């Protein structure tokens, strides 16, 4: 976590205090309406203690960012982020309802005013429960997402071929809990895909996060092989290393661990994959993203030696690479990415998904097409920062390739 400028820090604290004071006033108003003095005292006391506690954690953490920036234990960081989500999101919503109720009081609509406060309180409590559920349940409830992609130049022998894709595992966020990875292995084994690919971010920062998961990772497989690329977190760019040699060694050890688990690691490379009596080339580039994300990808190296007539599939961690480099200058028909996590939160209504990640990353999750080129963005398996998933469950993608028949 980077330091926050002094002015911004005071604005954040002032916003926090204002929203909590408004919410406190609204809570007392609705409790007085109920006319239960004991309930009022208990409720406001709990609210006050919780608010002071969160404010204390907030002030300590953001005024001493080096504690989070240099730590190798994520537990405190996750507690801070979870508390902020659990507190600020419901409180802000409730405070807005309370402020709205003041307008009703100005027009002498006191009954409507109380109804607004009560409605805001119920909505805020519901959101609190949803966030809590995302932390303890949502992030562990895996879904398999079936996707059929019709490709114009797909070889006939590959018609019906299946690819299982996972991305953004972030092993360090599990704090040793193996349940999600165990469930993932079971589901992949049941699927028994033709090809298994992992599109980056095996760790948050450190190679040691893989320790204890090696056996499970080795059990992931595909008939024609298992392949992986690196994500932005795998390079260790988000930790303040004592020297560059330790950072380089950490990356090297991460690569070794992936290879020992049976992955063919593609670092700006390609590999020929034989399928029946034909073949295709699987390309893998290192991470590339819009600043401040690093740009290690060298597509020219990855496609070097690949026949112009060959069918190709590309693995690229950040989907931004597809729009910026793949579509304008290549005819690669299919790119598989991850990186976005779909913000680990979203809304699904009538089968239509929306995530706030769309405001940051246009290609945030699911299947996209430009002409004859396709991009699929996996919504991620793990978490980073906020240790929860709200209506955006961990994903295993099951892709079925089909020939596009024009007649």
Tell me if 234 sits within 8 A of 206, measured CB to CB: no
Tokens of 55: 């404010």
Tell me the pairing of strands 352-354 and 347-349: antiparallel
Q: Is 219 exposed, middle or buried (0-12, 13-18, 19+ CB in 10 A)?
A: middle
Phi and psi dihedrals of 373, rounded to 5? -110, 135
Predicted confidence at residue 1, as pLDDT, reads 42
Beta strands in 158-315 (DSSP E): 162-166, 195-198, 226-228, 264-265, 269-275, 278-284, 312-315
Strands 312-315 and 278-284: parallel
Residue 287 near residue 235, CB atoms below 8 Å: yes
Task: Report the pLDDT value the prediction gives residue 209, as an integer from 0 to 100.
Answer: 96
Q: Distance of alpha carbon 190 from its chain centroid, rounded?
A: 25
pLDDT at 103: 82
Q: Is the peptide bond before 292 cis (omega within 30 degrees of 0)?
A: yes
Architecture of domain 142-403: 4-Layer Sandwich (3.60)
Six token digits for residue 398: 């099951």
**Token reading at 173:** 């966020």
Nearest one of 162, 225, 166, 149 to 193, comparing CA atoms = 162
pLDDT at residue 110, as a whole number: 72
Q: Which of 95, 113, 102 is nearest to 51 (CA)?
A: 95
Structure tokens belonging to residue 136:
């303890």
Q: Please give the model's pTM, rounded to 2 decimal places.
A: 0.90
Decide: residue 292, CB within 10 A, 0-12 exposed, 13-18 middle, 19+ buried: exposed
Residue 243: how many CB atoms within 10 A of its CB?
8
Which strand ranges, in their side-by-side order, compose the sheet holding 395-403? 143-151, 395-403, 162-166, 195-198, 226-228, 264-265
Chunked in runs of 10, what are the mean pLDDT values of the chain (407 residues)? 60 87 86 71 82 82 64 76 89 92 76 87 94 95 97 95 98 94 97 97 96 96 97 92 94 97 97 95 95 90 94 97 95 97 89 88 95 97 94 97 84
The pLDDT value given to residue 407: 60
Cα distances (Å, whole numbers) of residue 140 to 122, 338, 380, 382: 27, 18, 12, 9
CA distance 28 to 25: 5
Q: How far apart are CA 94 and CA 119, in angstroms?
A: 9
CA gap 177, 387 in Å, rounded: 13
Identify the three-state secondary structure at position 68. Answer: helix
Q: Check residue 2 and give its pLDDT.
A: 45
Residue spans per domain, the chain: 6-136, 142-403
pLDDT of residue 258: 97
């Amino acid at each position: 976590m980077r330091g926050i400028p002094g002015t911004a820090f005071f604005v954040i604290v002032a916003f926090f205090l204002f929203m909590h004071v408004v919410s406190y006033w609204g809570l007392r108003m609705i409790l007085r309406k109920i006319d239960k003095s004991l309930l009022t005292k208990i409720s406001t006391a709990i609210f006050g203690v919780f608010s002071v506690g969160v404010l204390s954690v907030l002030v300590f953490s953001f005024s001493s960012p080096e504690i989070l920036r240099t730590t190798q234990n994520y537990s405190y960081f996750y507690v801070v982020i979870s508390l902020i989500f659990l507190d600020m999101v419901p409180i802000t919503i409730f405070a807005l309802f309370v402020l709205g109720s003041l307008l009703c009081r100005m027009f002498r609509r006191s009954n409507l005013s109380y109804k607004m406060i009560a409605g805001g309180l119920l909505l805020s409590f519901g959101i609190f429960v949803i966030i809590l559920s995302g932390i303890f349940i949502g992030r562990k409830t895996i879904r398999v997402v079936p996707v059929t992609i019709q490709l114009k130049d797909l070889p006939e022998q590959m018609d019906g071929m299946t690819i299982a894709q996972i991305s953004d595992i972030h092993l360090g966020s599990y704090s040793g809990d193996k349940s999600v990875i165990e469930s993932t292995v079971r589901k992949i084994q049941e699927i028994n895909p033709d090809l298994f690919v992992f599109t980056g971010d095996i760790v948050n920062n450190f190679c040691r996060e893989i320790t204890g998961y090696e056996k499970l990772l080795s059990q992931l497989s595909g008939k024609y092989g298992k392949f992986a690329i690196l994500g932005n977190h795998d390079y260790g760019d988000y930790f303040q290393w004592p020297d560059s040699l330790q950072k380089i060694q950490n990356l090297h050890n991460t690569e070794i661990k992936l290879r020992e688990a049976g992955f063919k690691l593609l670092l700006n490379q390609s590999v020929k994959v034989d399928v029946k009596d034909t073949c295709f080339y699987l390309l893998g580039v290192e991470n590339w993203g819009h600043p401040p994300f690093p740009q290690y990808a060298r597509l020219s190296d990855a496609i070097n030696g690949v026949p112009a007539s060959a069918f190709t599939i590309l693995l690229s961690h950040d989907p931004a690479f597809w729009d910026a480099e793949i579509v304008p200058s290549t005819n690669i028909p299919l790119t598989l990415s991850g990186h976005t996590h779909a913000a680990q939160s979203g809304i699904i209504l009538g089968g239509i998904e929306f995530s706030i990640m769309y405001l940051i990353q246009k290609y945030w999750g699911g299947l996209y097409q430009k002409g004859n080129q396709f991009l699929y963005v996996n919504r991620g398996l793990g978490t980073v920062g906020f240790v929860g998933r709200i209506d955006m469950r961990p994903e295993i993608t099951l892709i079925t390739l089909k020939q596009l028949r024009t007649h």
